Amino acid sequence: RGAARAQWRGRARAMAEGPQPKRKREDEEEKNGGAPAQGGAAAALTLSDLRVRRILRESARDKIVFLHAERVGLSGEGTDAVVILEKTPFQEEKIPDLLKKPMNAELQMHNDIYCTFYLSPPPELSEIKATVVYPATEKHIQKYLRQEVHLIRETWEDYKNITLPFIQSQSFSIQWVYNILEKKAEADRIVHENPDPSNGFVLVPDLKWNQNQLEDLYLIALVHRREIKSLRDLTAEHLPLLRNVLQEGKEAIVKRFGVPGSQLRIYLHYQPSYHHLHVHFTALGYDAPGSSVERAHLLADVIDNLAMDSTYYQKRALTFPLRADEPLFKKFQEAGKV
């Protein structure tokens, strides 16, 4: 385990200091005469093309800001984008450089044994991660806008009468999931795959993790089966699949990153944003967004519940948070359920 962790740290350091290894997609783009291999607009986008329209949400504690931006075309028409800027966590091996490397360290305050400095570190020690959604839909903008949140208690009947028709009519596109499963995107990031069409899955680093440090480790397992929308669809029939995800996911993570299963939080979201069954793997010590009781269901508990009662998730009520101006919240309000 220690060896796997050390090996991984070495790799992460080499990546960070690198010359960056050429990505598979760039190879493909060269083959395609410069055209982005995934057909996604973002592949051709640079950050300087974007103009900030407003701040959707920010958190001083998490050092993160969510922006509504736009890309202005030649005709002056703006196309919406969401940009998430986040200060990255410290990387252990780079910390000594923060004090050593020549930089402006401005003394702000000195009182007895206490003083504060402000550092202006060189670029390699002051990274910011930028996640861009472009073109962004209204739903993406709503997802990141700070809003009042309410808890919904959804019975099975509510699910069938309110939630299911809603998610069938308007859900986020899951093209990005199919791109991963079909190796059209992120193929070089796959950590583990079980290719079985009914009991297999792909494990990849989550969009939220930059893979530079293990403190905020975050991976997701996307199942190959396409018809399972969420926890609500699961029955005992899916137990072999779920057990594979739990077992093989843990094994792959300890092997690649040196983090044991006992230090992983492995869970499903209800409601998920993307209705294709997936499982979150986060570092236990990391307070990952969406890991709180009103949204996270531990995979081991889900497996036990299904083993006891195949129709457990078609019987019980489930609680989840909804933002006040989400259309689904309005549907629950109209039905007098809030």
Active site residues: 278
Closest approach, Cβ 269 to ligand M7G, in A, equals: 3
Closer CB to ligand M7G, 166 or 274, in the complex: 274
173 is in an annotated binding site: no
Strand partners, 78: 72
Closest approach, Cβ 139 to ligand M7G, in A, equals: 11
Q: What are the angstrom distances between the C-alpha of 57 and each of 54, 76, 85, 165, 320? A: 9, 26, 11, 30, 21
* Alpha carbon 259 to chain centroid, angstroms: 19
Instruction: Give whichever of 94 and 302 is closer to ligand M7G, judged by the CB atom.
Output: 302
- When the beta carbons of 218 and 332 are compared against ligand M7G, the nearer one is 218
Q: Which residues of 20-51 are buried (b: 16+ CB within 10 A; e: fewer)?
A: eeeeebeeebeeeeeeebbebeeeebeeebbe
DSSP-derived letter for residue 303 is H
In the bound state with ligand M7G, the residue whose beta carbon lies nearer, of 6 and 207, is: 207
Cis before 271 (ω within 30): yes
- Count the residues in the chain: 338
SS3 content of the chain, % helix, strand, coil (to 5): 35, 25, 35
Sites for ligand M7G among residues 175-204 (CB under 6 A): 176, 186, 204
The least CB distance from residue 3 to ligand M7G, in Å, is 27
* 68 marked among binding-site residues: no
Binding mask 274-303 for ligand M7G (x = CB under 6 A): x---------------x-------------
Of 121, 90, 116, nearest to 103 by C-alpha is: 121
Strands (E), 147-287: 149-154, 192-194, 201-205, 218-223, 264-269, 278-283
Q: Tell whether residue 140 is a contact of ligand M7G (CB under 6 A).
A: no
Q: Given phi > 0 = left and psi -120 to 50 = alpha, else beta, which region is 326?
A: beta
The verdict on 32 binding ligand M7G (CB under 6 A) reads: no
Element (H, E) at 87: strand 78-87
Nearer CB in complex with ligand M7G: 52/207:
207
Annotated binding-site residue? 83: no
Q: How many residues bind ligand M7G (CB under 6 A)?
A: 12
Q: By CB under 6 A, what part of segment 206-225 binds ligand M7G?
A: 206-208, 220
* Residue span 235-274 as binding mask against ligand M7G, x where in contact by CB under 6 A, dash where not: ----------------------------------x--xxx
The minimum distance between CB 65 and ligand M7G, in angstroms, equals 17
CB of 114 to ligand M7G, least distance (A): 39
Residues 6+ apart with CB under 8 A from 301: none
280 is in an annotated binding site: yes
- How far is Cα 2 from Cα 173, in angstroms, rounded to an integer? 40
Residues annotated in a binding site for substrate: 176, 186, 206, 208, 269-280
Which residues are near ligand M7G by CB under 6 A? 176, 186, 204, 206-208, 220, 269, 272-274, 290
